[in-house]
Structure 1
Amino acid sequence: MFTGIIEAVGTVKASERQGGDLRLHIEASELDWGDVQLGDSIATNGVCLTAVELPGNGFVADVSIETLDLTSIGQLKVGSRVNLEKAMMPKSRFGGHIVSGHVDGLGEVVSRQPDARSERFVLRAPAELAKYIAHKGSITVDGTSLTVNKVNGAEFELNIVPHTIAHTIIGDYQSGRRVNLEVDVIARYLERLLLGEKAAEPEGSAKLTESFLAENGYLR
């Protein structure tokens, strides 16, 4: 489990294809690696990766084909900057929101413009994720816990303060960039709970629709 509070920006030192999947070596000298052990999870641009080697000032991870298909990790090149967060510990301060490191889909940066000392971004989510994104709700973008300022269909707006610009890779974003999105897990559980017994039905038939909500007393 993670909080979406980025601890360091790392750099891809090596990227090697192995039998169809990928092995990544990521360095981050400013991150304290003293409490990281083999098998620990490191959120990398919001993707939960397992440390299989610990060379001292970074980690090595194997990235599966499924992760390459569903996230932007496969687009990383040697020298690419990445957001890093070590797995949350029970004694950690919970500064963001509940983040699993399991990416729900790829979004796209639509626009960026100055807003006083901050930057205002508009991102577009995949259509199937739009229902989980709410005004003033939480969303994870490349591992960073952010608050949604405005929603317009599948597009949503973010106001990024100078500290976040300086300490994450969000400062690198330009229009057209693809980013990893993880929606608030509470929204997913709420959807499942509303389905009630219908949740046990085969995939595809168990969906929240307006007629279903009306039939079950959620709408009048």
Structure 2
Amino acid sequence: MFTGIIETLGSVTHLQREAGNLHITVASTLSDELKIDQSISHNGVCLTVVALSPGEHTVTAIAETLQKSNLGTLQVGNLVNLERCTKVGDRLDGHIVQGHVDQTARCVSVADQEGSWLFTFQYDRAQGNITVEKGSITVNGISLTVVDSQADRFSVAIIPYTFEHTNLHQVGAGDTVNLEFDIIGKYVARIMEHQSHPSRGH
């Protein structure tokens, strides 16, 4: 489990395809503190550390993960948001994040608000995910609050610290980001679906 509070940025140093998998090597200030088999979030995707070298770590994304996230579009030199899993007993500064990306979204616009930035993202509503005003959303692993919720898009306001210390400063109109919708909202949506179509599911 994660909180959506990014610890640091990592830089992709090497990419290796192997069948349907992608081995991603990242250099970061956290890498020397990691262990083999440890879980760490990369742009909101929970991945397992499979190899270590001084100042770097390697994780593997399988085909399903690449299809549901933006990890398959990574290039050497790209920055990724990193967060280690939450320790039991720590404060939950963001919200409950599983590290399981639901789908991607396209950045529609970035508006400079003179002290903050308003990012608007559009996603495929056919997958059944929803946002609500003042609800939580995870964008590239970052816990954020929805300020404008529509049927297939939403906006989030980004403060300077978050803008500078995550890879959102590299996201512009047309770019793809990873989304993990709030787990409580997903359960509510599922319950409502069953009430509307009681014959579906188990």
Query: Do the structures match in fold with TM over 0.5?
Result: yes
Match of 2:148 among 140, 147, 150: 150
Contiguous gaps of at least 5 residues in structure 2 = none
Amino acid at match of 1:47: V
User: In structure 1, what is the Cα distance between the partners aligned to 2:182 and 2:137?
Assistant: 6
Match of 2:74 among 68, 73, 76: 76
Match of 1:13 in 2: 13
Match of 1:25 in 2: 25
Whether contact under 8 Å (1:130, 1:154) holds in the other structure is: no
Match of 1:2 in 2: 2
User: In structure 2, what is the Cα distance between the partners aligned to 1:145 and 1:4?
Assistant: 4
Q: Specify whether residues 118 and 182 from structure 1 end up closer, same or farther in structure 2 by C-alpha distance, changes over 3 A only.
A: same
User: In structure 2, what is the Cα distance between the partners aligned to 1:72 and 1:19?
Assistant: 18
Whether contact under 8 Å (1:130, 1:153) holds in the other structure is: no
* Residues 1:44 and 2:52 are matched in the alignment: no
Q: Specify whether residues 160 and 175 from structure 1 end up closer, same or farther in structure 2 by C-alpha distance, changes over 3 A only.
A: same
- Identity rate of aligned residues, in percent? 37
Deviation of 1:39 after TM superposition, in Å, equals: 0.7
The alignment partner of 2:155 has SS state of strand
The alignment partner of 1:68 has SS state of helix
Match of 1:214 in 2: none
Deviation of 1:53 after TM superposition, in Å, equals: 1.1
- Encode CA deviations 1:13-40: one digit per residue, 9 max, x unaligned: 10011123111101112x3743x32111
Q: Specify whether residues 24 and 131 from structure 1 end up closer, same or farther in structure 2 by C-alpha distance, changes over 3 A only.
A: closer
User: In structure 2, what is the Cα distance between the partners aligned to 1:118 and 1:169?
Assistant: 15
- Name the structure with the higher strand share: 2
Match of 1:66 in 2: 64
- Encode CA deviations 1:39-64: one digit per residue, 9 max, x unaligned: 11110001111001122323111110
Amino acid at match of 1:134: V
Larger Rg: 1
- Encode CA deviations 1:129-165: one digit per residue, 9 max, x unaligned: 5652001000000000000001122111111000000
User: In structure 2, what is the Cα distance between the partners aligned to 1:25 and 1:54?
Assistant: 9
Deviation of 1:100 after TM superposition, in Å, equals: 0.6
User: In structure 2, what is the Cα distance between the partners aligned to 1:183 and 1:108?
Assistant: 15
* Residues 1:188 and 2:186 are matched in the alignment: yes
The alignment partner of 1:149 has SS state of strand
- Encode CA deviations 1:63-120: one digit per residue, 9 max, x unaligned: 1011111111010011111000001110322110010110000101000111121011
Q: Specify whether residues 143 and 40 from structure 1 end up closer, same or farther in structure 2 by C-alpha distance, changes over 3 A only.
A: same
Match of 2:101 in 1: 103
Residue-pair matches, total:
200
Contiguous gaps of at least 5 residues in structure 1 = 207-220
User: In structure 2, what is the Cα distance between the partners aligned to 1:26 and 1:88?
Assistant: 20
Amino acid at match of 2:119: F
Amino acid at match of 2:5: I
